[in-house]
Amino acid sequence: MKEKIDYCKMLFGSSLFADHLKQDEEDTLWENRTFTNLKNYLEHNHSPGYAAARGTSQEVLDAGLKKSLDTLWDCADCAKLYRNKLIPSTGEWMYRGMGLPLNLFKKMTQSFPNSKRKDGIVIASIPYHHKRVVESWSTDFITSMRFTWGTQNYATWRSYSRNRIAKEWERIADEMATGKETAPYIPVVWMMKTKSRKCLFNPDFTDLLSSWQQREILRFDNSPATARVMTHHKFVDLVLNKKI
């Protein structure tokens, strides 16, 4: 154990990212590289456009970040260092909003229950399969809902409440039913607990590092996970009635 602690302190010092957080400790070269990888992801999500401007690919940037996260994970899990910054609260819910491709959504529609809430929301338990080796989740549910109609739409929905977004989902479904809306994806929010997941960062810490301040947790576990997925019942009805 002592060897592991000494190794981690050699890589990151006694206080993680102290120099970047204006604390009295100079960051190591490895620590600087790790911080840069993390900061670029939090600010730009390694988007294809950002990667192209850097002369590389999203996959290469993600792989570099994952190596850094694997090392941080070992230091937090094995050496028990920096845990107040690296480890989210045990059993905390985290959320990921997205536009799910229609072909994937069709495969899961039978899993949704017939019962729905007053706002029309339905929730199903379905295995989650990662799309990228590193993924951003949030402990803030509303933030995740605002990303469900594409990242470009986030600014429009940024001030919307949970109920307002649920109504937006219903409006989109109604427009799909009439052919007015033809986008090939469905707004959904995935939900799972942090317990027993390979994920890093106390969201208070990522909010210090990122100008977005979206209560982010990074999941880099490549195994399928039991999760819940939420959407509006009208999207399910459209598929079951073969209207989309």
pLDDT, position 194? 87
pLDDT, position 173? 97
Instruction: State the sign of the Cα–Cα–Cα–Cα dihedral 12, 16, 20, 26.
Output: negative
Q: Which amino acid is at 98?
A: M
| 197: pLDDT strictly greater than 90 | no
pLDDT, position 195? 77
| 223: pLDDT strictly greater than 90 | no
The mean pLDDT of the chain is 93
In this prediction, residues 114-131 reach a mean pLDDT of 90
**Beta bridge pairs of residue 228:** 125, 191
What CA–CA distance (Å, rounded) separates 172 from 183? 9
In this prediction, residues 117-121 reach a mean pLDDT of 88
In this prediction, residues 30-44 reach a mean pLDDT of 95
Q: pLDDT-derived band of residue 39, with 50, 70 and 90 as boundaries?
A: very high
Classify burial at 147, counting beta carbons within 10 Å of its beta carbon; exposed 0-12, middle 13-18, buried 19 or more: buried
Cβ atoms of 40 and 46 within 8 Å: the answer is: yes
| 41: pLDDT strictly greater than 80 | yes
| 196: pLDDT strictly greater than 70 | no
In this prediction, residues 97-102 reach a mean pLDDT of 96
> Rg of the chain's alpha carbons, rounded to an integer?
20
**Beta bridge pairs of residue 216:** 138
Q: pLDDT-derived band of residue 80, with 50, 70 and 90 as boundaries?
A: very high
What CA–CA distance (Å, rounded) separates 191 from 140? 11
| 226: pLDDT strictly greater than 70 | yes
pLDDT, position 91? 82
